[in-house]
Structure 1
Amino acid sequence: MSIRERKLWTALATPMQENGDLHLEDFASLVHRQDDAGNGVLVLGSTGEGLALGLEDKKKVVETAASLNIEVPLMVGVGGFNLREQIEWIEYCQQFEVDAFLLVTPLYAKPGEKGQVEWFKALLDAADKPCMLYNVPSRTGTKMSPLVLSELHDHPNFLALKEASGSIEEYQDYRKTAPDVACYSGDDALLPFFAMAGCSGLVSVASNVWPKAVHRYVEWCLDGRGPELLPLWQECSDVLFRAPNPIPVKVLLKEKGWISSATLRPPLTGDEVEDISVLKNADQMIQNWYENNS
């Protein structure tokens, strides 16, 4: 399967030891679980706490992921507000077996549409890998301008758009602006709606804890069966966002025994999750659904 045919990417959490250091053995185990499920792996996105990690830790994550000899493609997050640093990061990552990059709109600066075009063009030019552009205004403070798509959709390194504004209307606006651009939902619960509007797949948080079940969910949604999945999947995926991402994901990964500690980097804290039983109930419901539909 080519990288352009990959329907599901998991925005992978970054496991840590109780003292806050990286837990690379647990990280490798999570990568292998995604490989076993056939899901592309995205490291150092917002779910991976990419902005909370120092440069040396980020390098260790990329080096480890690239060394695991997995069959599925590996994507690396690129995000910040210093363009030179992001270009240097891309150049560093390209020394390894990295297959793609996720490029987010600049943080905090709130650039205009021409500034956004220049930002993304510089990153696309620096990369020699396919790139997925990422619209997530709730985190960056800036909505990606449709001008970015109209100006850059023919760039040879433009792979796709990840749309995570939470707005189906905005997704449709992007589709009208550049109908030939592949679009991925960045929201697990909205995939049935995005699929009906012609999206290409999902960049998922939920597949951290349900890798094979979310793979099946994506297949069904893209086959037009999304509406029948809505009640269960909306309820269960929403549970993972009752505290800031990736707090509930790490808590549930620890509860399932897939990582040794639910430690997060400040300012995030697992204390935000007050009732683990809600996560455990959602986990059981998804497991039952998958077993009944395998």
Structure 2
Amino acid sequence: MSIFVGSGVALVTPFDENNQVNYKKLGELLEYHVENKTDAIVISGTTGEASTMTESERLNVIKFTVDKIAKRIPVIAGTGSNSTEIAVEFSKKVEVLGVDGLLVVTPYYNKGNERGIYGHYKEIAESVELPIILYNVPGRTGVNLSVSLVKELAKFKNIVAIKEASGNISYAAEIARQVPELDIYSGNDDMTVPILSLGGKGVISVSANIIPEVIHNMVMSFLNGDSKEACRLQLGYNELSNGMFIETNPVPVKEAMNYLGYEVGGCRLPLGEMYQENIEKLHSIIDRHEVKKWK
């Protein structure tokens, strides 16, 4: 059974004026996503700025999310690290919090070889019972999971899916062909429908932070047989989705959310403020798409 089908939001972590986690706002965001058809919450990932948070902050944010969502939709927590030992221990701590799955990015910076990456995921998979989503995003990690390695990793009973963010549709097609037992989630908003056409189950979306219902409807339209409507939404919102990456994620999506009145604060260094010309470009894109403002 799939961890989720549809749109999983790669949720931002809201910060207050002191750059501390704003739990009141986090609670509001979680309720907003339940109300606006988001199918799963992905917390403590890249978009959530997990790499600049302490372990205790991440655990607190994950626990808060699990408690607030209260099993209404699945909660998936990012537990990846470039240290296998840290990833194993953190995954074990997160498991007891009641999440529905783990999102585990490939070990970054080290540029592990295939044996090392296999060992990395093996140790994590054998340390927890939770279902695991592999996360392939070579543009950020410097590592691309080979199809043969994915095939080997899929033999672990709790490695059940892959978030595919290489941007290479041929690679995704080979995963779908050679490893059909793995669910595939698009990790790129602009490739959601193409991934669905290969048998994908949905998307883990940055854009869903501001257009949750659109992303849900895009996926469900396709899965319910209305590929024409899914394609209309995909092409109609690609400019907006790509605008979320006009600078390094999650800087633009937080800027977009603040422009729309969400008040989620800024990013932690080393992610700085956007250049003014990019801010103006992003605001223009948002205005053209008439994105709904915060309630």
TM over 0.5: yes
Matched residue SS, 1:217 = helix
- Counting only pairs closer than 5 Å after superposition, residues 264-283 of structure 1 correspond to structure 2 as 264-272=267-275, 274-283=277-286
- Counting only pairs closer than 5 Å after superposition, residues 251-262 of structure 1 correspond to structure 2 as 251-261=255-265
Q: What is the CA distance between 1:199 and its match in structure 2?
A: 1.5
User: Retained in 2: the 8 A contact 1:117–1:147?
Assistant: no
Q: In angstroms, what is the RMSD of aligned CA positions?
A: 2.0
Moved more, 218-227 or 241-250: 218-227
User: 2:57 maps to which residue?
Assistant: 57
1:202-235 CA distance string (max 9 Å, x none): 1100001111121112222433234333432211
Q: Given the superposition, is the C-alpha separation of residues 188 and 33 from structure 1 closer, same or farther in structure 2, using an over 3 Å criterion?
A: same
User: 2:217 maps to which residue?
Assistant: 216
Moved more, 270-279 or 118-127: 270-279
- Counting only pairs closer than 5 Å after superposition, residues 188-207 of structure 1 correspond to structure 2 as 188-207=189-208
Paired residue type of 2:97: F
Q: Distance in 2 between matches of 1:126 and 1:73?
A: 21
User: 2:232 maps to which residue?
Assistant: 228
Q: Given the superposition, is the C-alpha separation of residues 114 and 147 from structure 1 closer, same or farther in structure 2, using an over 3 Å criterion?
A: farther
Paired residue type of 1:178: V
Paired residue type of 2:32: R
Paired residue type of 2:18: N
Q: Distance in 1 between matches of 2:217 and 2:86?
A: 38
Matched residue SS, 1:159 = strand
User: 2:40 maps to which residue?
Assistant: 40
What is the number of residues matched between the two proteins?
Answer: 287
Structure 1: runs of 5+ lacking an equivalent: 290-294
1:232-255 CA distance string (max 9 Å, x none): 221111111101111111111112
Matched residue SS, 1:198 = coil
Q: Given the superposition, is the C-alpha separation of residues 149 and 275 from structure 1 closer, same or farther in structure 2, using an over 3 Å criterion?
A: closer
Q: What is the CA distance between 1:5 and its match in structure 2?
A: 4.3
Q: Distance in 1 between matches of 2:252 and 2:244?
A: 5
Q: Distance in 2 between matches of 1:74 and 1:235?
A: 28
Moved more, 222-231 or 239-248: 222-231
Q: Distance in 1 between matches of 2:93 and 2:48?
A: 19
Residue 242 (structure 1) aligned with residue 249 (structure 2): no
Paired residue type of 2:67: S
Q: What is the CA distance between 1:278 and its match in structure 2?
A: 3.8
Structure 2: runs of 5+ lacking an equivalent: none
User: 1:113 maps to which residue?
Assistant: 114
Paired residue type of 1:113: E
User: Retained in 2: the 8 A contact 1:32–1:70?
Assistant: no
Residue 92 (structure 1) aligned with residue 93 (structure 2): yes
Q: Distance in 1 between matches of 2:83 and 2:22?
A: 28
- Counting only pairs closer than 5 Å after superposition, residues 138-157 of structure 1 correspond to structure 2 as 138-157=139-158
Q: What is the CA distance between 1:277 and its match in structure 2?
A: 4.7
Q: Distance in 2 between matches of 1:288 and 1:42?
A: 22
Q: Given the superposition, is the C-alpha separation of residues 228 and 179 from structure 1 closer, same or farther in structure 2, using an over 3 Å criterion?
A: same
User: Retained in 1: the 8 A contact 2:167–2:188?
Assistant: yes
1:119-160 CA distance string (max 9 Å, x none): 111111112111110100011110012233221213221221
Q: Distance in 2 between matches of 1:115 and 1:4?
A: 27
User: Retained in 1: the 8 A contact 2:8–2:38?
Assistant: no
User: 1:104 maps to which residue?
Assistant: 105
Q: Please give the TM-score of this superposition, normalised by the length of structure 2.
A: 0.90
Q: What is the CA distance between 1:285 and its match in structure 2?
A: 4.9
User: Retained in 2: the 8 A contact 1:116–1:145?
Assistant: no
Percent identity over paired residues: 27
Matched residue SS, 1:270 = coil
1:77-98 CA distance string (max 9 Å, x none): 0222111111111111122121
Paired residue type of 2:86: E
User: 1:292 maps to which residue?
Assistant: none
User: Retained in 2: the 8 A contact 1:191–1:221?
Assistant: no
Moved more, 76-85 or 192-201: 192-201
Paired residue type of 1:65: T
Q: Distance in 1 between matches of 2:4 and 2:22?
A: 31
Matched residue SS, 2:274 = helix
Q: What is the CA distance between 1:161 and its match in structure 2?
A: 0.7
Matched residue SS, 2:18 = coil
Q: What is the CA distance between 1:183 and its match in structure 2?
A: 0.7
